């Protein structure tokens, strides 16, 4: 088994090191408690090997796709904006993102990340981390049962990003569950995900992606498996009934709806006005801080949308390039039937309602956007009939 795992890490020493490094990087978000520790894992096991490979000429024969060049174009635009409005730290963060995309999008061995055993293990590991941590905190009295769990013990700590990550991992496994007819595991995974996201973490951002992907799965099954339509109809009615009961009887579920938009519309309107005043093309710069005071009395900490953050800080070219990148990446995933496309889609949906700037130290956005995007465009992730320079 150890030999099989070792061979699955890749053919060359560089591939094995970077693939193992990526696995350690993903695990560190659950196992390590501070961002500094996670950053050190990235620096030692991914950034430095990728940098040495780049300097040593190991990247000369790599197949760089048009989508990969678009990532380079986005980074160049961000460098241009950063020269006008950023600090030295920002350019270091640009380098980190470039090295991560190079390592994951070109240098690792992607086969292990496409294996259904790995994707299932990832989902259940993330679920156990979040669910187990919540139960532990309830038992020791850190939070009362039913109280929102604000801080998990690992690097993936906040309820919003945590719920989005769990939704992404659920979406990643939908194709294999459906293809293999693993209906019990699918239903169990869905129920546990709903419980953790809605009751323990009480975050709606992950739930939005979960509902959209579940609806897509129902439409797919109804269109490709006509014999399941009656079962899906009954199941849909039962779920709707359970949702109405939970809304009326469980205070935590009622509170999710009662919170409304949590001032997001007000935040977005204020930042859109500031972006327009700064100039649509270049935005307000990397160091922009909004001085708007919200109706409730608080200030604006961040845009609560990864898309708006790109526009406000880096201008319309950054936003349009990013949207084009995501669209092309999703097309490649669909063409190759790559399940990481559903993971990325779930992340993109959740981050439409939360998320700050994409470029920074290794953080949760790397797992939700950069990781799936890089795995999808890796040449080794393509099917033979679609091995083109997309």
pLDDT band (50, 70, 90) for residue 387: very low
CB 357 within 8 A of CB 310: yes
Residue of 345, 31, 264, 24 whose CA lies nearest to 157: 31
**Tens of pLDDT, residues 93-145:** 999 999 999 999 999 999 999 999 999 999 999 999 999 999 999 999 999 99
Q: Which residue has the higher pLDDT, 19 or 285?
A: 19
Q: Is the pLDDT of residue 290 over 90?
A: no
**Tens of pLDDT, residues 5-16:** 667 787 788 899
What mean pLDDT do residues 44-54 have?
A: 93
**Tens of pLDDT, residues 313-325:** 999 999 999 999 9
Per-residue model confidence (pLDDT) at position 12: 84
Q: Is the pLDDT of residue 388 over 80?
A: no
Per-residue model confidence (pLDDT) at position 253: 65
Our separate counts of H helices and E strands in the chain read: 19, 0
CB 193 within 8 A of CB 210: yes
CB 173 within 8 A of CB 120: yes
Per-residue model confidence (pLDDT) at position 385: 44
Most confident range (mean pLDDT) of 68-72, 221-225, 320-324 is 320-324
**Length of the chain measured in residues:** 390
Percentage helix, strand, coil, to 5, in the chain? Answer: 75, 0, 25
**Tens of pLDDT, residues 138-189:** 999 999 998 899 999 999 999 999 999 999 999 999 999 989 989 899 999 9
Per-residue model confidence (pLDDT) at position 216: 81
Share of the chain above pLDDT 90, in %: 56
Q: Give strand pairing partners of 299.
A: 293
Q: Is the pLDDT of residue 242 over 90?
A: no
Both tokens assigned to 144: 């009362």
Picking from 143-157, 188-202, 279-293, 351-365, which range would have the lowest pLDDT averaged per residue?
279-293
φ, ψ of residue 9 to 5 degrees: the values are: -75, -10
Spell 77-103 as b/e; 16+ CB within 10 A means b.
bbeebbeebbeeebeebbebbbbbbbb
pLDDT band (50, 70, 90) for residue 364: very high
Q: Is the pLDDT of residue 260 over 60?
A: no
């Amino acid at each position: 088994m150890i030999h099989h795992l070792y061979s699955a890490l890749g053919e060359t020493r560089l591939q094995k090191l970077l693939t193992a490094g990526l696995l350690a990087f993903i695990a560190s978000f659950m196992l390590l408690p501070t961002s500094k520790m996670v950053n050190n894992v990235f620096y030692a096991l991914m950034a430095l090997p990728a940098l040495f490979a780049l300097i040593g000429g190991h990247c000369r024969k790599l197949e760089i796709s048009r989508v990969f060049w678009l990532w380079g174009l986005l980074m160049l635009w961000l460098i241009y904006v950063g020269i006008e409005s950023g600090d030295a730290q920002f350019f270091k963060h640009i380098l980190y993102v470039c090295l991560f995309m190079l390592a994951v999008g070109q240098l690792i061995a992607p086969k292990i990340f496409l294996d259904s055993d790995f994707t299932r293990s990832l989902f259940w590991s993330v679920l156990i981390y979040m669910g187990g941590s919540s139960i532990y905190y309830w038992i020791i009295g850190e939070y009362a049962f039913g109280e929102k769990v604000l801080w998990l013990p690992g690097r993936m700590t906040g309820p919003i990003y945590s719920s989005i990550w769990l939704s992404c991992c659920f979406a990643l496994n939908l194709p294999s569950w459906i293809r293999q007819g693993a209906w019990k595991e699918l239903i169990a995974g869905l129920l546990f995900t709903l419980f953790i996201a809605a009751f323990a973490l009480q975050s709606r951002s992950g739930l939005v992606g979960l509902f959209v992907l579940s609806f897509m799965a129902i439409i797919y099954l109804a269109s490709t498996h006509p014999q399941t339509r009656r079962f899906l109809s009954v199941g849909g009615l039962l779920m709707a009934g359970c949702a109405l009961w939970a809304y009326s009887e469980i205070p935590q579920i009622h509170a999710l709806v009662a919170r409304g938009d949590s001032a997001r519309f007000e935040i977005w309107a204020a930042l859109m006005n500031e972006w327009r005043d700064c100039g649509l093309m270049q935005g307000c710069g990397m160091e922009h801080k909004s001085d708007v005071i919200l109706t409730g009395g608080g200030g604006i900490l961040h845009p609560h949308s990864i898309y708006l953050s790109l526009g406000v800080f880096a201008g319309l070219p950054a936003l349009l390039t990013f949207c084009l990148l995501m669209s092309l990446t999703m097309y490649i995933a669909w063409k190759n039937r790559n399940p990481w496309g559903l993971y990325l889609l779930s992340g993109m949906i959740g981050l439409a309602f939360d998320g700050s700037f994409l470029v920074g130290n290794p953080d949760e956005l790397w797992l939700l956007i950069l990781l799936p995007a890089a795995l999808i465009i890796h040449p080794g992730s393509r099917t033979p009939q679609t091995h083109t320079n997309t």
